[in-house]
Amino acid sequence: MNDVLASLSNTGIAKQLGVPRVPVLRRHRPGDPLLAGPVLVASAGGAGGRFAKAVAAFVEENGQPVVGAAGEERLHGVVVDLSEARTLADLAAAQQLLTPAVRKLGPSGRLLLIGAEPADAFESGGAEAAAVAQALDGLVRSVAKELRAGATANLVVVAAGAPPVAIDSSVRFFLSARSAYVDGQVVHVAAPIGVLPEPAEVDDPLAEERPLAGRVAVVTGAARGIGASIADTLARDGATIVAVDVPAAGQRLADTANRTGGTALQLDITAADAADRLLTHLADRHGGVDLVVHNAGITRDKLLANMTADRWDAVLAVNLGAQLAINDALLAGGSPLREAGRVVCVSSQSGIAGNRGQTNYAASKAGVIGMVRALAPRFAERGATINAVAPGFIETDMTATMPLATREGGRRINSLRQGGLPVDVAEAIGWFGRAESGGLNGQIVRVCGQSMLGA
């Protein structure tokens, strides 16, 4: 990465010249505390939200005080439970809570709203309640654009039947430094699929550091770029890695496997027997698989007017066809995908916003979103989930070779005023990959710093 503006922007001379500040984002480092200061936890509406108590207990367990209202002190986080908000008066009460609270949010602070599904709210409170539930969407996307110094705002929408434990892994992710580049997002949580794991021992310091311990994770395209970072990050979190890439990636693939203590599988995922070979490797060498990360992807950019069939076919085959084939095999009888299995697909902001010169790529990445939504109920039948991350501008070899103006544009047109790092994509995948994330299925989360493109 060579983001010159980011390096210069925090120097004295830059301040004098009025160069816009590029905040330094707090990212997870093993051993760091999960929370960097007090967290305001409150609820507005009805008899109080269903989740505030569990969030407050979680904050205290992680060594930080819970405050009920903004005072003099800097806050690490603000969590407002609006799961029972049904009226405009409840919404006004939330504003009264939030206005002084956001002023106290510190650098890389976290604002998290918890809301109800509008359809559920309608059942209990009619159109006003549904409108209030939906209003949180606009509220959170707007305040995310207002926050400064690397602070983020996100919304967790919880289905009526979901128990408090269903949102644990999401609260943990959004309040922590692992979600540094996830901003202005809305995720929907339902009652967890399959069996929930035993809660981690509170006095086990490794439990939070190694949430993927004992899980086998396969990562395609793991030789370099975002895939290599996914492999490193999942291994850091305790997973056993199966690193997959084309035979031509040879040494770099071996490097990933060695670095992470995993195994390497040289495989072109578009080969006719690729799914078969992959699943056989997983069954024979590892006895099964818990997490499948469909990361491998290619671009072959051309305006549609100049598009050739080989460019179109190559991109669709790697980015979408291979994922479809492997998912089919994972869903088939006798598949090595274990209980609480997780599939995470890498889509792209281009698949949401579109991008000039990328009809093939954007079609493939939008197709991934369609596939995830269609297969979510099928994976649920097996006690598993499928979700996607859609990265925005990530600092990689690919983006380093863009023309300067395009690169600078991509970096700055988001609420955090910078590109993300491969590890930011990897952290979101790790969150979906946890056994505790069974309430998340069919979700598409952008890792884009709240890019204005396609929002």
Binding site for ligand NAD (CB under 6 A): 220-221, 223-227, 245-246, 249, 268-270, 295-298, 318, 346, 348, 391, 393-394, 396-399
> Cα–Cα distance between 81 and 423 in angstroms, integer?
29
* For ligand NAD, the closer CB: 131 or 254: 254
Q: How many CA atoms within 13 Å lie on the side-chain side of 308?
A: 4
> What strand order describes the sheet that includes 385-391?
263-266, 240-245, 216-220, 289-294, 337-346, 385-391, 444-447
Taking Cα atoms as reference points, which of 93, 83, 87 lies closest to residue 120? 83
Q: How far is the CB of 219 from ligand NAD (least distance, A)?
A: 10
Q: How far is the CB of 314 from ligand NAD (least distance, A)?
A: 9
> Cα–Cα distance between 75 and 103 in angstroms, integer?
9
Q: How far is the CB of 266 from ligand NAD (least distance, A)?
A: 9
Catalytic residue among 122, 173, 361, 431: 361
| 71 Cβ contact list (under 8 Å, min separation 6) | 104
Taking Cα atoms as reference points, which of 226, 46, 67, 212 lies closest to residue 124? 46
* For ligand NAD, the closer CB: 43 or 299: 299
The DSSP secondary-structure symbol of 394 reads: B
Residue with tokens 């895939």: 227
* For ligand NAD, the closer CB: 82 or 223: 223
Q: How far is the CB of 254 from ligand NAD (least distance, A)?
A: 13
Q: How far is the CB of 210 from ligand NAD (least distance, A)?
A: 25
Which tokens in the block code for residue 112?
């998290």
* For ligand NAD, the closer CB: 67 or 371: 371
Q: Where are the alpha helices (DSSP H) in 287-401?
A: 309-316, 322-331, 350-353, 359-381, 397-400
Q: Which amino acid, residue 388?
A: A
* For ligand NAD, the closer CB: 121 or 223: 223
Task: Establish whether 181 is a catalytic residue.
Answer: no
Q: How far is the CB of 325 from ligand NAD (least distance, A)?
A: 12
- Please say whether the beta carbons of 367 and 325 come within 8 A: no
* For ligand NAD, the closer CB: 324 or 398: 398
SS3 category, 448? coil
Task: Say if residue 37 is exposed, middle or buried (CB neighbours under 10 Å; 0-12, 13-18, 19+).
Answer: middle
Q: How far is the CB of 218 from ligand NAD (least distance, A)?
A: 12
For the chain, the farthest-separated pair of C-alpha atoms sits apart, in whole angstroms, at 65
152-178 b/e with 16+ CB inside 10 Å = b?
bbbbbbbeeebebbbbbbbbbbbbbbb
SS3 category, 261? coil
* For ligand NAD, the closer CB: 220 or 437: 220
Which residues are marked as active site? Answer: 361
